[in-house]
Amino acid sequence: MNKPLYPLSVNLQFFAGEKTEKATPRKREDSRKKGQVAKSADLTGAFALFAMFLMLSFFGPVIGQQLLTLISDLLSPEYLLFNVTGGMSDMVVDLMLRVGLILAPFFIVAVVFGILINYLQIGTLFSLEAIQPKLERIDPIKGVKRIVSMKAVVEFLKSLFKLLIILTTAVAVLWKNQKELSRMAVEQVRESIVALASITIELGLWVSVALLALAFLDFFYQRFDFEKSIRMSKQDIKDEYKNTEGDPLIKSKIKQQQREMAMRRMMQEIPNADVVITNPTHYAVVIRYDDTKDFAPLVVAKGVDRVAFHIRDVAKEHDVAIVENKPLARALYAQIDIGEVVDESFYQAIAEVLAFVYQMKQPS
């Protein structure tokens, strides 16, 4: 006896909970409202660092001159005598103001680039969800899970890699400038400070460029990790559809009730009608014409098969005339909706039917 090729049966419902589907637009919107977006903090910091060192490379001489002037003023006897007589608090305030003016451009550049890079990554976003207190954040079990999670391992490796990049770049820059560093021991203080500042700026630029390259990789990783974290299962998509569009079973019941209500309203119009035009079994179209209210004959009800039989039964109960006219019944059913007046092309045919009905109703 031959054995079946696939002796094991697999229940596909077992995989219904697997998050294999891309997030829907609604899922993305809900995540965004909660502050969950794909963003790399390293990219923001690297750009800000690069901008500050780039600014320092252009305006370094000016800033260096300001620092030298500040140090010279601080060490001058006139400045010390003036501030001692005026009070130590005035000296501290003056020193803070002058240092603040020197550092203010760097602070402004860092803030501007931080806002700009964040905007380019996620656009405009304001959410208080991330800072709301939640008891699950102090749950020790979940805290341990976060510490030993794959994301924590990746962050740890990123930190080690950044440290390795910084150290490698620093060694490379210092090795390149070893002659300048050795000459600093025999040069004057001013020239040594200028050389050290130049090497520091170069080191900062190269480190920031290396961190920028790593930050771009981190940005793509964050996007990949975010897309993975918001994946949905097939059941999640079905549940979302039910919540958005409504349960299909409930919707079908509502539509059924609406059809029944429309049927009742339609049947209520039949006793006031003038004639029912049939084909004679499958189609039935109910016509009403009141010259005091209607400017043209009006279709107040129509139906096929079972509904057509029901229309004829109601018409018979209320002595509404039933006239057989196959082509007219089919044409009216196909072209005129309930509640609409008939088209001019039907005037002649309906007038003949109504004349026949009125003649039948006249006493002999």
Quick: pLDDT tens for 217-261: 888 888 888 888 888 877 777 777 777 666 667 677 777 887 788
8 A C-beta contact, residue 130 and residue 136: no
pLDDT at 317: 87
pTM over the 0.75 mark: no
Angle at 262 between CA 257 and CA 263, to 5 degrees: 95
Closest CA to 40 of 208, 210, 219, 216: 219
Question: By mean pLDDT, which of 2-11, 65-74, 191-200 is the weakest?
Answer: 2-11
8 A C-beta contact, residue 286 and residue 301: yes
The pLDDT tens digits for 157-180 are 888 888 888 888 888 888 888 877
103 φ, ψ (degrees, to nearest 5): -85, -15
Long-range contacts (CB closer than 8 Å, 24 or more residues apart) made by 49-55 = 49/204, 49/207, 49/208, 49/211, 50/205, 50/208, 50/209, 50/211, 50/212, 51/109, 51/110, 51/113, 52/106, 52/109, 52/110, 52/204, 53/201, 53/204, 53/205, 53/208, 54/205, 55/105, 55/106, 55/109
The pLDDT tens digits for 122-160 are 777 766 665 555 555 565 665 555 555 667 777 788 888
8 A C-beta contact, residue 300 and residue 270: yes
How far the first Cα of the chain sits from its last, in Å, is 89
3.40.50.11810, 3.40.1690.10, 3.40.605.10, 3.40.50.300: which CATH number matches 250-361? 3.40.1690.10
CATH 3.40.1690.10 placement within the chain: 250-361
Residue indicated by tokens 């964040």: 118
pLDDT at 10: 46
